[in-house]
Structure formats: structure tokens, C-alpha cells
Amino acid sequence: MTSPAEADAGSEVVNAGRPQPRRGISLSDAGPPIALVVIFGVFAVLSPDFRTLSNVQNVLDAAAVLAVVTCGISFVLMMGSIDLSAPGIMGASAIAVALLVANNRNDNDFGLFGVAVAVLLGAALGCLSGLALVVLKVPSFMTTLGISAVGLGVATLMFAGVQPNVTDPMLEGWAVERFLGLAHLTWIAVACVLVGVLVQRYSRLGRYAFAIGGAEEVLGLSGVRVAPYKVAVFTMAGAFYGLAGVLVTSQLSAGLVQAGKGYDFSAITAAVVGGTLLTGGRGGILHSAVGVLLVTVLTNGLVQVGVSPYWQGGVQGLIVVAAVAAAVLPQRRRNQVTK
């Protein structure tokens, strides 16, 4: 009974060779990498300083923290939720790690263990966002905004008016020591992207996050409980923000409450520019990584060609609105309700 009964049997039957999830390559997938190459080329032509090897190293190093934050936020955006908690969580973890490794405020010297605690603190705060979303049914926009404020509050309490300066050689070394021309921080970010890609492709968590953004009701009809996966995604995102806070502390050699300021918006910009839809279900870590490079190259390049840094904020804002508009263009229909 498995014999094909229909006439269309022998037509263009494609049988899969490799166990790779195949995706249709569309313009929206190819667009951001092309844009990256074009923008890079334009700046390289315009500015001799831009095309130096050391500047390329600078760009990559400057992208590190943003890349880690974007790894976390991408999973949330993939689900169709939004996460604004990065600044608060990064602030809390930045102060926490500064107080746990060797510093000028107390006698702690926990080293890597301190880093792990800071990451876990981030995960715990992210978990709170997720729980508020699924248990209290508060929209992610509001819960994460609240958690961000909570994180800043926790950071301010620990800060207690005296800035903790890091004296731990390991943590300070991350920002200055280089391997193959790139700071250790940058390699940590690369590792995060790799982990993110693996989670997205090969874990149920990653695939379900993708599916939740695609058609959440269908998961329910298929007997999947989505709530635990949502909480897990927010927890994972929190862990990434926690790590990002640690990286900022390493760069500054000091714990700052404001360590994560602006990273929420930059990360959303990067993810969206890279091709992740705010409505969920499209995009991914690699998309976002391209987006991070796009944003960083643009920032760096504009400075190199002599545009005042005071323009940067406004330019970034325009880019994100334009990118979102371009992304939703094919889906517009008459009488569409946009909120």
C-alpha cells in the first residue's frame, strides 16, 4: 500500500541526503549579509583608517558584548516576545561579579566561580520575567521592563555608593589579552554564538522557541505545553545578559550599575537588522550575528569617515525603523491592524 498510486509519482521528488533542516534562501535571508559586505566595502573605500587590520580587530572586539546580548534576545524575539530586561540584568551581574572577584571593596576572590554566580543571577532574573509572562500573563514587554528595573535596583543596592574596582587579573585579562589577534572577550562572544546556533538547530528548546513564534496554537493542539519552554527561553536569555554584564565589567575593570545601558535597544536593532521578525518565527542566531556586525561596522565606519558621534544615536534609531519597515513590507495587507 505504499506504492504511489498517482501519476505524479516520478516527478521532481527530492529526497533529503543530509539531516540538515533545509531553509529556503530568500531575499530576506540573503539581504543582511549582502548589506554587510556592501557597507563594509563603502567604508573601506571612503576611509583608509577603516580598512586597516587593527581597525577590523577593533570592530570585532567592539561587537563582542553586543553579540552576547543579541544571542539571548534573539531566542526571545524568535518566540514573538520582546525582552527589554538586558540593561537591568547586565547592571546587576556587573556589580555582582565585581564584588565576587578580587576587588577593592571586599576580600572576595572567587574568580571563575564569581563569574558563574553572576551569570546565574542573570538567569534567575530572566526566569522571573518568563514566570511573570506565563503565570501572571503579563505581556513580555511589561514584565521585562519591570525586571530591568528590578535588576537596576539590585545593582544599586550592591553598589552602595562606592564603585567596586576589579583587581582580578583573570577578569581584567579577558579584555586585554589577545588570541589570534582578538581579545579573549571576542572569543567568548564567538563561543556564545556557536552555542546559540547549536541550541537553535539541535535542541528541542531552540526548535520550539522557533515554533512558538511560528504558530503557538498549533503546539497546543499537538499536545505541547509551551509555558515551560517560554520560561526556559527567558532564563537562557537572562544568562546571556548576565555574561554580557561580566564582559562589560572586564572591559571597564569596574562594576557599574549602568553597565548595560542602551544594550536593549542595540540588541533589538541588531537582531531586526539581521532578519529576525519582531512577530517571531523567523531569523536566528546567525542572522543576529550578521546584524551585530552590521550595526558595529556602521557605528565604527561613521566615526572613521568623520561623522560626529553625536549623530550615532539618531542614525541607529532610523536604521531600526527602516529595517522593520522593510521586513514587514511583503506582509502588508489591506485594513491591517498594527498595534
What's the CA gap between 189 and 65, in Å, rounded?
Answer: 7
Q: Does 107 bind other proteins (CB under 8 A)?
A: no
Helix H, strand E, coil C: the string for 256-292 is: CHHHHCCHHHHHHHHHHHCCCCCCCCCCCHHHHHHHH
- Whichever of 184 and 282 has its CB closer to other proteins, that residue is 282
Q: Which of 258, 298, 278, 266 is nearest to 339 (CA)?
A: 278
Q: Does 106 bind other proteins (CB under 8 A)?
A: no
- Whichever of 162 and 221 has its CB closer to other proteins, that residue is 221
- Whichever of 21 and 262 has its CB closer to other proteins, that residue is 21
Q: How far is the CB of 14 from other proteins (least distance, A)?
A: 5
Q: How far is CA 151 from CA 96, 116, 178, 251, 338, in A?
A: 11, 17, 31, 20, 31
Q: How far is the CB of 273 from other proteins (least distance, A)?
A: 20
Q: How far is CA 263 from CA 157, 165, 244, 318, in A?
A: 21, 22, 10, 16
- Whichever of 154 and 285 has its CB closer to other proteins, that residue is 285
Contacts of 102 (CB under 8 A, 6+ apart): 108, 109, 111, 166, 167, 168, 169
| Residues 268-287 within binding reach of other proteins (CB under 8 A) | 281-282
Binding part of the chain for other proteins, among 10-18, 81-89, 119-127, 256-264 by CB under 8 A, reads: 10-18
The residues that bridge with 179 in the sheet, in sequence order, are 182
What's the residue count for the chain?
339
Binding mask 195-224 for other proteins (x = CB under 8 A): ------xxxxx-x--xx-xxx-xxxxxxxx
Q: How far is the CB of 17 from other proteins (least distance, A)?
A: 9
Q: Does 330 bind other proteins (CB under 8 A)?
A: no
- Whichever of 4 and 309 has its CB closer to other proteins, that residue is 4
Q: How many CB atoms lie within 10 A of CB 100?
A: 26
Query: 39 near 294, Cβ under 8 Å?
Result: yes
Q: How far is the CB of 299 from other proteins (least distance, A)?
A: 31
Binding interface with other proteins (CB under 8 A)? 1-6, 8-9, 13-16, 19-24, 201-205, 207, 210-211, 213-215, 217-224, 281-282, 334-335
